[in-house]
């Protein structure tokens, strides 16, 4: 597959608009929201909700409308993911914690899109396409005893035949936008539970839990190291009853990995990991640009025409930071382009996520280091970017887990052989 390094004008313009919004709306309240965890970025949410709502409405309407025979079929690959990549990068350049508060179906939407029926898409996603009040989606996989090892999930879903309902019991932790989805809006949370523990992964199923379901309690808003504007909570399920039709994909436990079941929904990570990488790129760029600006003020610039060994230690550090981000950018572009070409990209998505998570961690740490005591001071945002950037190396598969996925795919090993 050929990757185009020429970014379409439309993508560039949208990214510029997102960056202008980031500069004008996010940056001015970045420190305030960092200091006051659990406060919401109200202006950003208010501004972006109508845009995302109308986008979702168009997507849902397209699903319902019969194909128009007079409309010429689009030639070649789309640019949907490329556009998202550049917008996520720009918004995360503004503030990664605020970016995570975007009112949209996010990972819940990806799972519903991937394995939901048309009826489920309409029933669960329509709320993201109408109304004046913003709505959020969340995805709950992690539990106290199940992080990287997703097959250790203990939460149960039992089919109550009398009421034709699923009864959910268990606890989910560290769920992004869980409170916004289930308490502060009429949103949804896709919750993973097992219908048969003895079946391992084949018994794990995603269920859609709607806001205000009795038996569902948001128990613990986390106090975090970074992305402090982002909502992260624990959710407890005690005999929470949901309609039978809220299961996503095949309710039967089938070993062999049907694409409509566990594997299908896990494939949503192939789409979301490049976007996590894009977010890492945005935070990394914020730190790098800031350092270069400060160095320039001190008369230090990078003579790109001079060989590396003829540069000073500081100049070499900056070159390394740039190279790290460039490598991560190219991997992200590749993973994203593959999505737009409709190709499987599990390997490339994990490569991009692992590299970008590491790059942002190293680049932001180096930025703090190069700026000396002021880098460590709360007067500047660079220490915050160092804290914010790290999350990209943790969620949606840690750096180690994504490297493990890369190794398995390259060596053609299964999870039993390489873990
Ligand atoms: C701010 C935040 C938001 C989050 N949002 C969500 C969310 O919305 N939904 C959700 O479901 N979860 C969410 N999570 C949870 C996140 O996905 C988990 O933290 C992550 O999967 C790692 O799990 P763990 O923390 O239990 O670490 P563990 O799995 O216990 O891992 C601990 C360390 O061991 C390493 N390790 C584990 N297994 C291996 C292995 N086989 N080989 C090599 N190294 C290994 C890991 O890489 C890590 O460094 C969030 C977490 C945070 C911090």
From residue 327, alpha-carbon distances to 123, 323, 330 in Å are 41, 6, 5
The two beta strands, 165-176 and 188-194, are unpaired
Half-sphere exposure of 38 (CA within 13 A, CB side): 7
pLDDT of residue 46: 97
Q: What is the CATH number of domain 9-128?
A: 1.10.540.10
pLDDT tens-place string over residues 127-143: 999 999 999 999 999 99
Residue 182: C-alpha distances to residues 47, 136, 317, 403, 410 (Å)? 22, 8, 45, 33, 40
Q: For a substitution probing ligand 1, which of 148, 206, 268, 283 has the most ligand atoms within 8 Å of its CB? A: 148
For residue 261, what pLDDT is reported? Answer: 59
CB 181 near ligand 1, within 6 Å: no
Instruction: Pick the atom of ligand 1 nearest to 400's CA.
Output: 47
Q: By three-state DSSP, how is residue 175 classified?
A: strand
Q: How far apart are the first and last CA of the chain?
A: 30
Q: Specify the 3-state DSSP secondary structure of 400.
A: helix
The answer, yes or no, to whether any atom of ligand 1 lies below 6 A from the CB of 174, is yes
Query: pLDDT confidence of 114, banded at 50, 70, 90?
Result: confident
Q: CA dihedral in degrees (333, 319, 404, 344; nearest 10)?
A: 10
Is the distance from CB of 208 to CB of 139 less than 8 angstroms?
no
In terms of pLDDT, which residue wins out, 74 or 52? 52
**% of the chain beyond a pLDDT of 90:** 83
Q: Where are the alpha helices (H) located in 65-198, listed in sequence order?
A: 80-99, 106-115, 118-125, 178-182
The CATH architecture that domain 262-411 belongs to is Up-down Bundle (1.20)
Rounded to the nearest angstrom, the gap between the alpha carbon of residue 64 and the centroid of all alpha carbons in its chain is 27
6 is catalytic: no
Atom of ligand 1 nearest to the CA of 146: 26
Does residue 400 have its Cβ closer than 6 Å to ligand 1?
yes
The count of residues in the chain is: 419
- What is the spatial distance between Cα 178 and Cα 161, in angstroms, rounded to a whole number? 29
Judge whether residue 1 has pLDDT over 70. no
In the predicted structure, residue 155 carries a pLDDT above the cut 70: yes
Given 143, 171, 184, 396, which residue is catalytic? 396
> For residue 339, which of 357, 352, 327 has the smallest C-alpha distance?
352
**Using one digit for the tens of pLDDT, what is the confidence trace for 276-308?**
999 999 999 999 999 999 999 999 999 999 999
Is pTM beyond 0.75? Reply is yes
Percent of the chain with pLDDT over 70: 95
CB atoms near residue 121 (< 10 Å): 17
Place of tokens 């598969």: 397
Region of 123 please: left (phi>0), alpha (psi -120 to 50) or beta. Answer: alpha
pLDDT at 264: 66
Q: State the fold for domain 135-246.
A: Butyryl-CoA Dehydrogenase, subunit A; domain 2 (2.40.110)
Q: Give helix then strand counts, H and E, for the chain.
A: 14, 7
Q: Tell me: the pLDDT tens digits for 212-229?
A: 999 999 999 999 999 999
Note the pLDDT tens digit of each residue in 226-273.
999 999 999 999 999 999 999 998 888 876 655 555 676 677 889 999
User: Do the Cβ atoms of 175 and 235 come closer than 8 Å?
Assistant: yes
Closest C-alpha among 238, 370, 254 to residue 315: 370
**3-state SS assignment for residue 185:** coil
> Average per-residue pLDDT in the chain?
93
Top mutation candidate among 106, 138, 142, 187 for ligand 1, by most atoms within 8 Å of CB:
142
Write down the domain spans for the chain. Answer: 9-128, 135-246, 262-411
């Amino acid at each position: 597959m050929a990757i185009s390094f020429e970014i379409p004008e439309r993508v560039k313009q949208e990214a510029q608009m997102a960056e202008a919004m980031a500069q004008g709306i996010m940056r001015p309240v970045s420190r305030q929201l960092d200091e006051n965890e659990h406060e919401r970025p109200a202006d950003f949410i208010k501004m972006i909700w109508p845009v995302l709502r109308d986008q979702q409405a168009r997507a849902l309407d397209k699903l319902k409308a019969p194909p128009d025979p007079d409309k010429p079929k689009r030639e070649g690959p789309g640019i949907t993911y490329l556009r998202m990549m550049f917008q996520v990068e720009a918004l995360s350049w503004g503030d990664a914690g605020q970016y995570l508060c975007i009112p949209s179906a996010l990972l819940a939407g990806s799972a519903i899109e991937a394995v939901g029926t048309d009826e489920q898409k309409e029933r669960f996603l329509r709320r993201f396409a109408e109304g004046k009040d913003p709505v959020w989606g969340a995805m709950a996989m992690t539990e106290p005893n199940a992080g990287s090892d997703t097959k250790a999930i203990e939460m149960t879903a039992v089919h109550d035949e009398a009421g034709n309902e699923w009864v959910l019991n268990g606890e989910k932790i560290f769920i992004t936008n869980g409170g916004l989805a289930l308490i502060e809006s009429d949103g949804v949370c896709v919750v993973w539970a097992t219908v048969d523990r003895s079946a391992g992964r084949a018994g794990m199923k995603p269920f859609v839990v709607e806001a205000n379901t009795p038996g569902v309690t948001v128990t613990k808003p986390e106090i975090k190291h970074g992305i402090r504007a982002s909502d992260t909570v624990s959710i407890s399920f005690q005999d929470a009853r949901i309609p039978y039709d809220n299961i996503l994909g095949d309710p039967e436990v089938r070993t062999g990995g049907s694409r409509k079941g566990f594997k299908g929904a896990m494939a949503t990570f192939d789409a979301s990991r490049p976007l996590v990488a894009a977010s890492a790129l945005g935070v990394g760029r914020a730190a790098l640009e800031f350092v270069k600006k400060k160095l320039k003020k001190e008369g230090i610039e990078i003579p790109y025409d001079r060989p590396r060994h003829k540069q000073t230690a500081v100049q070499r550090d900056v070159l390394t930071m740039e190279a790290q981000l460039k490598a991560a950018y190219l991997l992200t572009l590749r993973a994203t382009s593959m999505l737009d070409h409709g190709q499987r990209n599990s390997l490339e998505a994990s490569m991009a996520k692992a590299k970008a998570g590491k790059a942002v961690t190293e680049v932001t740490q180096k930025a703090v280091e190069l700026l000396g005591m002021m880098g460590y001071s709360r007067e500047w945002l660079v220490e915050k970017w160092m804290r914010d950037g790290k999350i990209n190396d943790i969620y949606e598969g840690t750096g180690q887990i994504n490297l493990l996925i890369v190794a398995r795919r390259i060596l053609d090993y299964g999870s039993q052989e390489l873990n």
